[in-house]
Amino acid sequence: MEVDDLVGQELTAVEFVQDYLQLRFDGPVLTLYEWPEVFREEGSYAYGEPEFRNVLCGLIGENVGAATLVEYEALEIQFESGSSIRTSLREEDVSGPETGSLSSGEAGDEMLTF
């Protein structure tokens, strides 16, 4: 599974799980152990800010237009609406050995970790 496999996929669910986030698409599941920022035309929203959850959940139903992973830099998912989700992968911004993973959602399939 590669990050660009998300292109064309619809975001179907946003799950807040204690201390991490899962974004579910039409099959693939993106798990983030570091909170992303959400970017929209009017500005950006970070975890802990008043509208973060609403803006993130507002992306449900949107399709991915582009997805990029730059090792040790960032993971960015851009939606066809122009909104995007970005997670830093820089060493100084992460608190654990992994920042996240991407799986196909099928049992036994290969998982991409970053």
Domain boundaries, the chain: 3-103
Main-chain phi, psi angles of 24, to 5 degrees: -105, 135
| Nearest residue to 72 (alpha-carbon basis) of 95, 89, 48 | 89
Q: How confident is the model at residue 1 (pLDDT cuts 50, 70, 90)?
A: confident
pLDDT at site 101: 95
The CA distance from 83 to 41, in Å, is 7
Q: How confident is the model at residue 65 (pLDDT cuts 50, 70, 90)?
A: very high
